Amino acid sequence: MPAKNTPASRALSMASMGVDVAGSYLGYVLQRAFLGGERGKRTLKATHTRAARRILDAMQALRGPAMKLGQTLSLQTGVLPDETLAELATLQMQAPGMHPSLVRVQIKGSLGREPDEIFKTFTADPFAAASLGQVHCAVTRDGTPVAVKVQYPGIGQAIENDFTLFRAASKPAQVSGHVPKAVIDEIQEQIVAETDYGREADNIEFFERGLAPLRFVTVPHVHREYSSDRVLTMSLLPGRHLGDFLARRPSQTLRDRFGAHRFELYHFQVLRLEALHADPHWGNYLFDDDANIGLVDFGCVKYLAPRSVAYLRSIYLYPGAKDSPEFYRLIEKYHAPATGTLTRATRQALVEFTDNFYRKVYPPEAKHQQRPFDFGDPAFLRDYLRGGQDLARTKGVMTDFIFMARAEMGLYQTLHRLRARVLTSQIVRRCLQA
């Protein structure tokens, strides 16, 4: 398939258009042409994956909202090879770095005082990149260590510009139905929501309360007095990123416990909270030696519609045959009101996805309750990706599940890297019963 005609490559042609548009986020990326040897790094290995690799490479360079847009779309349009897709799910939307003077201007403009006047100490160099900004260590006047997330200036306007361009560039894909307008609307709404740190503070507090029953999960505490729409001050969470955790060669038992916790965290969010942390970047999950998980960065949170959760409840662990009129009715009841009529191909793709993936990962039969699923086997990840792509090809993607799919992809990618063995059916059943 020529890369030229894929939606993802249209997103990239949007990037090259962005160079002339003042205030476009994409311009930050294109400035790299002047700033470094980014082009030199684009060495492509195999000819058959050349286009796909170029897309991944460019998306890694894009980082901004455009990256997330490309990422979300490519997960559903089948233009990239499996391994590239899996990597793509965990890329982070990242703003260009800010120098200390710019950070001071942003904090003063937002909180009314310079960081040195607000905090006892404030570290000028950031310790982490965050969505649309960067994170600094600081100590409050009463001696509490905190993380201060500062937003890059003018990001809202930049996102708006990028979406205007993208909507124009993707008109043909919108007309053909491969990139429905509703999908673009959903992505834009989520990305724009990330620019409001006030909303993120609300998200954190929602998850702090909601995840309290899961004792193995820690969520930061927001310091409202040092926060605004563009600055977010939170408590610091301990722990290591997945890569550092794995580098210490953890035992299979510890990896299994982590896997179980990570799996339960996801399903608890979907089925109990009806909302989920939808940015599966590695940096957003912190691991400690007691299998506890620290969850950070609540910019991208998806609040699911009650009918979507009801639908998931009915299909997870569905005991009967998937290729049956009862199951058809179930999926049609959910999908038909949104898509008009459910085509035969879409219905078939949904049935196959449920049968080939979910039934294997967490079988509904009682005898599987005590049998762990081995996520070290790469076949399950392939099944997941292919199922998702078949759904996209048959236009069976539901807007409410776009960000959930991204989070789910991140979950399975993490479990695969952990090579965890998890009592999946038992956990899903527990979350369903509660």
Number of residues that bind other proteins (CB under 8 A): 25
For other proteins, the closer CB: 49 or 157? 157
118 is a contact residue toward other proteins (CB under 8 A): no
15 is a contact residue toward other proteins (CB under 8 A): no
Q: Which stretch binds other proteins (CB under 8 A): 5-13, 94-102, 219-227, 316-324?
A: 94-102
For other proteins, the closer CB: 155 or 273? 155
Whole-number CA gyration radius for the chain: 22
For other proteins, the closer CB: 28 or 263? 28
Residue in 49, 60, 110, 356 binding other proteins, rule: CB under 8 A:
110
Residue in 101, 251, 370, 433 binding other proteins, rule: CB under 8 A:
101
Q: Which stretch binds other proteins (CB under 8 A): 23-31, 213-221, 233-241, 325-333?
A: 23-31
Q: Give me the least distance between CB of 102 and other proteins, in Å please.
A: 6
Q: Give me the least distance between CB of 121 and other proteins, in Å please.
A: 14
Listed in order, strand segments (DSSP E) in 284-323 are 285-287, 293-295, 301-303
182 is a contact residue toward other proteins (CB under 8 A): no
For other proteins, the closer CB: 108 or 360? 108
CB of 138 within 8 A of CB of 119? yes
For other proteins, the closer CB: 123 or 235? 123
The Cα angle at residue 68 between residues 62 and 74, in degrees rounded to 5: 100
Listed in order, strand segments (DSSP E) in 336-426 are 373-374, 421-422
- Four-residue CA torsion sign, 389, 392, 394, 398: positive
Q: How many CA atoms lie within 13 A of 263 on its CB side?
A: 28
Q: Which of 146, 190, 401, 183 is nearest to 300 (CA)?
A: 190
Q: Binding marks (x or -) toward other proteins, 39..68, rule CB under 8 A?
A: ------------------------------
Q: Binding marks (x or -) toward other proteins, 309..338, rule CB under 8 A?
A: ------------------------------
Residue in 98, 107, 234, 420 binding other proteins, rule: CB under 8 A:
98
Q: Give me the least distance between CB of 34 and other proteins, in Å please.
A: 5
Residue in 102, 168, 175, 247 binding other proteins, rule: CB under 8 A:
102
The residue assigned the tokens 């409202």 is: 224
CB of 384 within 8 A of CB of 231? no
- Four-residue CA torsion sign, 115, 119, 121, 126: negative
DSSP codes joined into one string, 209-244: HHTTT-TTEE-PPB-GGG--SSEEEEE----B-HHH
Give the span between the Cα atoms of 358 and 384, in whole angstroms.
Answer: 9
Q: Give me the least distance between CB of 38 and other proteins, in Å please.
A: 13
User: 147-177: b or e for each residue (b if 16 or more CB lie within 10 Å)?
Assistant: bbbbbbbebbebbbbbbebbbebbeebbeee
Q: Which of 338, 336, 315, 339 is nearest to 327 (CA)?
A: 315
100 is a contact residue toward other proteins (CB under 8 A): yes
Per the structure block, which two tokens stand in for 380?
């399950």
Considering only residues 152 through 171, tell me which ones interact with other proteins, judged by CB under 8 A. 152-158
Residue in 19, 44, 124, 366 binding other proteins, rule: CB under 8 A:
124
109 is a contact residue toward other proteins (CB under 8 A): yes
35 is a contact residue toward other proteins (CB under 8 A): yes
Burial class (CB in 10 A: 0-12, 13-18, 19+), 206: middle
Q: How far is CA 67 from CA 60, 63, 160, 164, in A?
A: 7, 5, 14, 15
Considering only residues 184 through 243, tell me which ones interact with other proteins, judged by CB under 8 A. none
19 is a contact residue toward other proteins (CB under 8 A): no
For other proteins, the closer CB: 159 or 402? 159
Backbone angles phi, psi at 109, to 5 degrees: -65, -25
Q: Which stretch binds other proteins (CB under 8 A): 91-99, 178-186, 346-354, 391-399?
A: 91-99
Give the span between the Cα atoms of 104 and 10, in whole angstroms.
Answer: 37
Give the span between the Cα atoms of 423 and 369, in whole angstroms.
Answer: 7
Q: Which stretch binds other proteins (CB under 8 A): 31-39, 45-53, 137-145, 179-187?
A: 31-39
For other proteins, the closer CB: 96 or 372? 96
Binding site for other proteins (CB under 8 A): 22-23, 27-28, 31, 34-35, 96, 98-102, 105-106, 109-110, 124, 152-158
